[in-house]
Amino acid sequence: MDRFDGIPEQALAWHDAGKGAVLATVTETWGSAPRRVGSQLAISGEGEIEGSVSGGCVEGAVIVEALEALEAGEARNLEFGVSDGDAFAVGLACGGTIRILIEPVGSVMPETLLRDLVHARAARKALAYVVNVASGARHLDSEGHQDRFRMDRSGFEPDGETFVAIHNPPLRLIVVGAVHITQALIPMARIAGYDPVIIDPRETFGSETRFPGETILHDWPDDAVESLGLDARTALVLLTHDPKLDDPALEKALRSGCFYVGALGSTRTHAKRVDRLTEAGFDADEIAQIHGPIGLDIGAAGPSEIAVSIMAEMTKVLRKGA
């Protein structure tokens, strides 16, 4: 999941309110399935819903099965074929097949387990919800499945019985430098599912007029990134082209576990940056985390195209690794 959808939270709220709740999760797909593995739909005992497992193709049938499962206190594994006509209706070229796991909260999914998951999500802690569909064993795991966490990829393990649902914190983009590239990059990042934050102590640059509705911090960059916290779901992009502003944040980032660190500047500028960081005590492996010059080499010209190249490189690193 690229950002919080609030579905486990809503299921817990319905359960706590005494309405009863069920979580339906896409566990497998074949063909042109409408929703990715790990997508969820929460259903209350009163028929309220939050989320989606098929873009609307089979929701009605899933709700009926979920309410029956809630009454019976049992898990169910469902399989649906999505016809070409239904697929077209939700914007796909052709149909496919989806498998969905139905889990009533309390009788099947332990309430304490769901509550722990919700608390972890609120604290930006990555967790895997692991269920063996044959034995019914369920637990939360934060140590294993590192490739799944990195690629944000839920799915079955090779045994065909153990399903791993990845619950990552929302993606976050922190940009140091409220420049023209930033004006193009922020809306692109929002579309891609990032929660963006802009850092620039220069209030003339980082103004509400230039970035309406955005979160803007006028603190010194190293203080700002430290207060925000940096983690494996955070991308840090440095665009001021000024070492006095970029370097303090960069030094925090290189030992933080950010999945992406990119810095604007030419090859010559980056070489000087490497020299400064080496003098500051960073080793070659730490410095190698920096993508500089920033962005994929697509021959970008102008702020908007540079922003496209940055988004492309961030996506490549997120999904395929550095």
94 — pLDDT class (breaks 50, 70, 90): low
**Token reading at 128:** 């895997």
Tell which wins on pLDDT, 64 or 89: 64
pLDDT tens digits, 225-281: 999 989 888 999 999 989 999 999 999 999 888 999 999 999 999 999 999 999 999
- What Cα–Cα distance (Å) separates residue 60 from each residue in 55, 56, 108, 193? 11, 8, 22, 27
Q: Are strands 96-104 and 76-82 parallel, antiparallel or unpaired?
A: antiparallel
Q: What is the pTM of this model?
A: 0.73
Contact 166, 148 (CB under 8 A): yes
Question: Which of 102-116, 150-164, 303-317 shows the lowest per-residue confidence on average (mean pLDDT)?
Answer: 150-164
**DSSP string for residues in 19-74:** S-EEEEEEEEEEES-SS-TT-EEEEETTS-EEE-SSTTSSHHHHHHHHHHHHHHT-
Question: What does the alpha-carbon distance between residue 85 and residue 46 come to, in Å, rounded to a whole number?
Answer: 30
pLDDT at 175 over 90: yes
pLDDT at 85 over 70: no
Segments making up each domain of the chain, as ranges: 7-167, 172-320
* pLDDT the model gives residue 25: 97
172-320 CATH fold: Rossmann fold (3.40.50)
Contact 126, 117 (CB under 8 A): no
Question: What does the alpha-carbon distance between residue 12 and residue 113 come to, in Å, rounded to a whole number?
Answer: 10
The CA dihedral of 60, 66, 69, 71, to the nearest 10 degrees, is -90
Strand (E) or helix (H) holding 264: none
Q: Are strands 138-141 and 49-51 parallel, antiparallel or unpaired?
A: unpaired
pLDDT tens digits, 10-28: 999 999 999 999 999 999 9
* pLDDT the model gives residue 1: 37
pLDDT at 3 over 70: no
* pLDDT the model gives residue 285: 94
pLDDT cut 90: percent of the chain above it: 76
* pLDDT the model gives residue 95: 60
* pLDDT the model gives residue 54: 80
